[in-house]
Amino acid sequence: MRRKFIGPFLRPLLKNKHPDSRREDRESKNLPPSEPCLQQSLVENLALLQKIFDHCEDVIFREFTIGEQQARAAIIWLDGTVDRQLIDDIVLQSLMQEARKLPPNGDISPPQLHTLIRDSLLSTTSIVESYKIPDLVDRVLTGFCAILIDGVEVSIVASVRGEQMRSVTEPETEAVVRGPRQGFTENIRVGSALIRRIIKTPDLKLETRKLGRLTKTDVAILYIQGIADEKVIQEVRQRLGRIQVDSILESAYIEELIEDQPFSPFPQIAHTERPDKAAAELLEGRVVILIDGTPFALIVPTLFVQFLQSSEDYYERYFFAFLIRSVRFLFLLIALSLPSIYIAATTYHQEMLPTPLLISIAGARQGVPFPAFLEALLMEVAFEALREAGVRLPKTVGQAVSIVGALVIGEAAVRAGIVSSAMVIIVSLTAIASFAIPAFNLAITVRMLRFPLMILAAVFGFYGIMLGYLALLIHICSLRSFGVPYLTPISPFKRQGMKDVLFRAPWWRMNNRPGGISPNNRQRQNTPRPGPKS
Amino acid sequence: MHNKRKRSSFTGLIRRCVALGLILPLMAGTAGCWDRTEVEKLAIVAGLGIDFIPGPEPILLTVQIVNPSGLQKGGGGSSSPPFLTLSATGATILDAMRNFAKASPHRLFYGHTNVIIFGDRMAREGLHPVMDYLARAPEFRRTFWILVTPATAKEILSVKLDLEDIPALGVTEMVKEFRQSAAAVIERQKDFLSGISSKSGAAPVSRLELLDADASINERLQEVTAGDSQQTSMPAQGKKQLRLNGTAAFRKDKLVGYLSDAESRGLLWITGKLNGGSVIMPCPEDQQHKISFHIERTKSKVIPYFRDGKLNIKIDIEEESSIAEVSCDKLDVSKPETIKQLEELQAKDIEARIKSTVEKCQALRADILRFGDTAYTRFPKLWKERYEEDWPDHFANLPVAVKVTSKIRRAGMTSKSGGTTK
């Protein structure tokens, strides 16, 4: 992968192999020619496994005899990922106690014993058989308990998972005043269950796969058959299938590995921590990707306007949704361009400000040694640093940082005449505005784009800001997320979709699902307008 | 195949980035920053005054510059004044403006000049050369107010104004307030230009004077309390104040004379710009006391027509008002007949005012009433043939008839005089 980045310039010098051939090499290394199978002899199997799990002290081997048969057996599990109580109650109890009721003597051959155990002794729901060593190893590592019986070349693998996990709590990043208080947890099963609890239809499909050579992370694709677009589902499967990586630690890994335009500053895949939001997206025809180990689910395809919507818009009455969304759109513009507008207006277009405002800005700037641009840059960088410091520090210290930053530095800098009070207002307003954007990833983008806009404003004034706006507009018009234009429903224009952009139509008017995402099963509801007459 | 496509788009991006990296510094170097000025390096000109001094450098420019540090709130006892006035002379207005550079460390910035004051002499010499520059220069607004003073602009711009730190801004506020209460015709530059270039060839401009109002009031108070002179110790001389008073009439670009306050109001009646204001007149059968009306709505129509081959003007005014003050003893405004009588009296009063305005304008031979325009729109051919030349002379001899219809709609919150219930 690193080679690729030097690629275009240095490739001729390095005289590398063709990338395709390198790739084949790697694939062949990935798949050993033959996988070792289990043997009949328990001793041999155990020796092999003990070699594999050498220095893995949390993998426990427990040997015992089954019932009156005196058949040797062993169970293997990874301590910490299993529920010991379950092993005691279900596996050992049935094999050591219940098995005594079996007829004694050597009447039963080991394979028969195996069948018996599998079919009638183990009182647990989830049982699989494993023939191959690597498969067995994988399962042990994911919290299964493997039962090996002497004389049988198959292992029974029973799920006794019982890891420590966080309980379902309120999502911290997407809190609402009104609405469900549940959030996803790091456990993928909890996640899918939470969605299933909301959407109770067999049409809600879930396809799981393991990604990451070493982490073997469970990744699940969820969609509602008949509502989601088949092409998009297929595209998701394909893009996930293309991933070759050793680890998936967070949804961001997958986001970066499957997004459409990796060089764009704009986020092209939304994420959520809320099952109700994930369900809503599923019902609009989108595909949700759940990833084990993180409470964040990915949502594709993603539209730009999604980042400015919050689940609360749908839980409060629609008038309020309109009001609050207009504020968000306004604040998006403020967060993006207020410092640059200030720079442009005060250094090039003084005639555009109202006279009293100009006079007070000029008064505030008396004695400030830096030009407006440098001043703005200084303050913006200081703010970013302050924010970063506040995020990383523990909560108690974080408050101290904000006090020092806001009061001491801000106040002192203005008093000392190093920055003007007008600039402090501009920077704080911009900061507030960037926090008013509900999606954190879009807020980051906006914060980044602020700086090039400020440079443009410092060099060209409003003309530069307009150039910047145009470049951004052209760029986001060209973006696509899983085949859907990023600016849908604004451009291309979709009437149904426009009911949920700036203005959220009341539910009794949103008869169809938003256009552009999926062509299937468009009708959402058919309630007439409520009122006493109906 | 897929890999190849990805790579080519990546090289494309690299190329684009390199190109952008080369273009940006070039753009910055060639296009940017040269006209960059920080706000605090600007001398914001709030008001501009232009006077005429006969001689080699006849144009005297006076600028009122805002001094932001003098405006800082709670900045301690800094004694710097909130504004400064600078003057410079030159052969032309541009020349004078250039001469400012010699005296000011900051660039003079005219983007916020909202009021331009002409001295009497300047206005009489003709505004054409000055107006040409003001219309041509990009920095000036097209919306600044034009005022004429019988004194000099330099004097006016040095006077402090109560309640406003910067007098020029205060004057702007005054002008806006005045327009609202419809006390005088006040023109912006663009209106003035369109007025003098129209068929009428004349425009009104408000008159700003420097008045020692306190002095005359004190004098009068002195008279009242003449009996015991110990009690009053008012100074004979007060503070000089700026006051909008009357209208200057321009024929083409030259000032030809002033209209008084009352005549200015007649001008508003005719041009239909009166919205609000009041009419004060003596009571019927009782000249001592007054009755006043609040004007609610007016409609004016200037109708040009030909009689015996000669142009006539008829001014038709409909007016609605309510009673604002009644100090008459024997007047029952609850009676419909009284109202009728008052309506007629009011109409006559207004008629008289308008007539005096028209006569004044005719005497000045300045058609600031826009009769020429109206006549031309109605009879373009005839007007062009007979009146286009020497319009001011024709205007001076134009027969004008005035007809006012008054309606009193309301008597206010009480029907009895003096506010008593009986």
**Statement to judge: residues A393 and A290 lie in one domain:** no
pLDDT at A304: 93
* Residue corresponding to tokens 């079919």: A119
Q: Is the pLDDT assigned to residue B325 strictly greater than 70?
A: yes
B65–A contact, CB cutoff 8 A: no
Q: Is the pLDDT assigned to residue B272 strictly greater than 90?
A: no
Residues of A in contact with B111 (CB under 8 A): 350-351
Last residue of some domain: A236, A270, A302?
A: A302
Residue type, B356: S
In the structure, what pLDDT confidence band is assigned to residue B269 with cuts at 50, 70 and 90? confident
A372–B contact, CB cutoff 8 A: yes
Q: Is B313 helix (H, G, I), strand (E, B) or coil?
A: strand
Looking at chain A from residue 442 to 461, which residues have their Cβ under 8 Å from any Cβ of chain B?
458-460
Q: Check CB contact under 8 Å for A347 and B37.
A: yes
pLDDT at B214: 76
Contact B45, B113 (CB under 8 A): yes
Last residue of some domain: A116, A142, A159?
A: A159
Taking the CA of residue A256 and the nearest CA in chain B, the distance in Å comes to 15
Rounded CA separation B102/A261 (Å): 58
pLDDT at B160: 86
Centre a 10 Å sphere on the Cβ of residue A426 and count the other Cβ atoms it contains: 23
pLDDT at A25: 47
Residues of B in contact with A4 (CB under 8 A): 7, 10
Q: Check CB contact under 8 Å for A460 and B111.
A: no
pLDDT at A470: 95
pLDDT at A106: 59
Q: Is the pLDDT assigned to residue B4 strictly greater than 60?
A: no
pLDDT at A16: 46
The count of CB pairs under 8 A between chains A and B is: 86
Q: Is the pLDDT assigned to residue A28 strictly greater than 90?
A: no
* Residue corresponding to tokens 């080991």: A110
In the structure, what pLDDT confidence band is assigned to residue B32 with cuts at 50, 70 and 90? low
- Work out how many domains chain A is built from and give that number: 3
Cβ-in-10-Å burial (0-12, 13-18, 19+) of A127 comes to: middle
Residue of B nearest to A372 (CA): B38
Rounded CA separation A309/A314 (Å): 9
In the structure, what pLDDT confidence band is assigned to residue A67 with cuts at 50, 70 and 90? confident
Residues of B in contact with A358 (CB under 8 A): 39, 44, 112
Residues of A in contact with B141 (CB under 8 A): 351
Contact A189, A159 (CB under 8 A): no
**Statement to judge: residues A111 and A145 lie in one domain:** yes
Q: Check CB contact under 8 Å for A350 and B39.
A: yes
Whether the model clears a pTM of 0.80, i.e. scores above it, the answer is yes
Identify which has the larger pLDDT, A378 or A6: A378
DSSP state of A512: B
A366–B contact, CB cutoff 8 A: yes
Of B281, B289, B293, the C-alpha closest to B329 is B289
ipTM surpassing 0.85: no
Domain limits for position A37: 2-159
Q: Is the pLDDT assigned to residue A193 strictly greater than 60?
A: yes
Comparing A147-151, A445-449, B186-190, the range with the smallest average pLDDT is B186-190
Q: Is B277 helix (H, G, I), strand (E, B) or coil?
A: coil
Contact B132, B93 (CB under 8 A): no
Assess if residue A505 is contained within a domain. Answer: no
Q: Is the pLDDT assigned to residue A267 strictly greater than 90?
A: yes
Taking the CA of residue B86 and the nearest CA in chain A, the distance in Å comes to 18
**SS (HEC) of A373-422:** HHHHHHHHHHHHHHHHHHHHCCHHHHHHHHHHHHHHHHHHHHHCCCCCHH
Residues of A in contact with B13 (CB under 8 A): 263
Q: Check CB contact under 8 Å for B44 and A346.
A: no
Assess if residue A174 is contained within a domain. Answer: no
Task: Tell me the mean pLDDT in the region A71-81.
Answer: 88
Assess if residue A181 is contained within a domain. Answer: no
Output b/e per residue, A189-228; b: 16+ Cβ within 10 A: ebbbebbeebbeeeebbeeeeebbeebebbbbbbbbeebb
Backbone angles phi, psi at B113, to 5 degrees: -75, 110
Q: Considering chain A, what percentage of its residues have pLDDT values greater than 70?
A: 92
Q: Is B322 helix (H, G, I), strand (E, B) or coil?
A: strand
**Statement to judge: residues A278 and A332 lie in one domain:** no
Rounded CA separation A501/A309 (Å): 8
pLDDT at B240: 79
Contact A129, A156 (CB under 8 A): yes
Residues of A in contact with B32 (CB under 8 A): 458-460, 464
Centre a 10 Å sphere on the Cβ of residue B410 and count the other Cβ atoms it contains: 12
Nearest to A355 among B36, B69, B112 (CB): B112
Residue of A nearest to B166 (CA): A356
Residues of A in contact with B27 (CB under 8 A): 459-460
A8–B contact, CB cutoff 8 A: yes
Residues of B in contact with A459 (CB under 8 A): 27-28, 31-33
pLDDT tens digit sequence for A289-343: 999 999 999 999 999 999 999 998 999 999 999 999 999 999 999 999 999 999 9
- Cα end-to-end span (Å), chain A: 64
In the structure, what pLDDT confidence band is assigned to residue A5 with cuts at 50, 70 and 90? very low
**Statement to judge: residues A256 and A322 lie in one domain:** no
Q: Is the pLDDT assigned to residue B29 strictly greater than 70?
A: no
Nearest to A366 among B27, B68, B111 (CB): B68
Backbone angles phi, psi at B35, to 5 degrees: -105, 25
pLDDT at A152: 87
Looking at chain B from residue 23 to 42, which residues have their Cβ under 8 Å from any Cβ of chain A?
27-28, 31-33, 35-40, 42
**Statement to judge: residues A364 and A465 lie in one domain:** yes
Nearest to A355 among B35, B38, B169 (CB): B169
Rounded CA separation A135/A35 (Å): 9
Contact B354, B402 (CB under 8 A): yes
Nearest to A8 among B14, B27, B69 (CB): B14
Assess if residue A14 is contained within a domain. Answer: yes
Rounded CA separation A171/A184 (Å): 7
**Chain A interface mutation, best of B40, B41, B44, highest count of A Cβ atoms under 10 Å:** B40
Q: Is the pLDDT assigned to residue A3 strictly greater than 50?
A: no
**Statement to judge: residues A383 and A444 lie in one domain:** yes
Comparing A114-118, A380-384, B143-147, B213-217, the range with the smallest average pLDDT is B213-217
B228–A contact, CB cutoff 8 A: no
Rounded CA separation A350/B43 (Å): 11
pLDDT tens digit sequence for B214-266: 777 888 887 777 655 555 555 656 677 888 888 999 998 999 999 988 888 88
Q: Is B295 helix (H, G, I), strand (E, B) or coil?
A: strand
Torsion angle of the four alpha carbons B389, B392, B397, B401, in this order, in degrees rounded to the nearest 10 = 110
E strand or H helix at B224, and its extent? helix B213-224
What is the C-alpha radius of gyration for chain B, rounded to an integer number of angstroms?
29
Nearest to A363 among B3, B38, B72 (CB): B72
Assess if residue A165 is contained within a domain. Answer: no
Centre a 10 Å sphere on the Cβ of residue A303 and count the other Cβ atoms it contains: 26
**Statement to judge: residues A268 and A393 lie in one domain:** no
Rounded CA separation A422/A430 (Å): 12
In the structure, what pLDDT confidence band is assigned to residue B11 with cuts at 50, 70 and 90? confident
E strand or H helix at B4, and its extent? helix B2-30
Residues of B in contact with A368 (CB under 8 A): 40
What is the C-alpha radius of gyration for chain A, rounded to an integer number of angstroms?
30
Distances from the Cα of A282 to the Cα of A77, A199, A203, A252, A393, angstroms? 37, 9, 11, 20, 37
Contact B44, A358 (CB under 8 A): yes
Crossing angle for the helix pair A440-460 and A372-392, to the nearest 10 degrees: 160
Taking the CA of residue B159 and the nearest CA in chain A, the distance in Å comes to 20
Mean pLDDT for chain A overall:
86
Nearest to B40 among A263, A365, A458 (CB): A365
Q: Which two tokens stand for residue A508?
A: 């009794």
**Statement to judge: residues A361 and A393 lie in one domain:** yes
Taking the CA of residue B129 and the nearest CA in chain A, the distance in Å comes to 24
Assess if residue A46 is contained within a domain. Answer: yes
Rounded CA separation A200/A459 (Å): 58
Q: Check CB contact under 8 Å for A371 and B38.
A: yes
Rounded CA separation A228/A484 (Å): 13
**Statement to judge: residues A234 and A334 lie in one domain:** no
**Statement to judge: residues A117 and A258 lie in one domain:** no
pLDDT at B78: 55
Last residue of some domain: A250, A270, A302?
A: A302
pLDDT at B262: 85
Assess if residue A513 is contained within a domain. Answer: no
Assess if residue A175 is contained within a domain. Answer: no
pLDDT tens digit sequence for A355-378: 889 988 988 888 888 889 999 998
**Statement to judge: residues A15 and A113 lie in one domain:** yes
pLDDT tens digit sequence for A38-47: 888 889 899 9
**Statement to judge: residues A270 and A368 lie in one domain:** no
